[in-house]
Amino acid sequence: MGRYLVVRDSFIAGLFATLELFITAALAALIIGIALCYFSEYQKKVINRIIIGFVSLMRAIPF
């Protein structure tokens, strides 16, 4: 029974670590997405090309 408690505690700790990473990554992605959307409204071709290149690269990478 004692070994089960150790495994359960490790599982719960891993679950919370995963949730923390997920929330952090989701918020970072939201902030980056909003910033890219905001900067894509500029009429400067250099900025738009960089954003289009970044988005195309992210879409091409399989996750």
> What is the structure's pLDDT at 62?
83
Q: With both helix axes pointing from N to C terminus, report the angle between 2-40 and 45-60 in degrees, rounded to the nearest 10.
A: 150
**Euclidean distance between CA atoms 47 and 13, whole angstroms:** 42
Tens-binned pLDDT, residue by residue, of the chain (63 aa): 667 777 888 899 999 999 999 999 999 999 998 998 898 888 888 888 988 898 899 888 887
> What is the structure's pLDDT at 1?
62
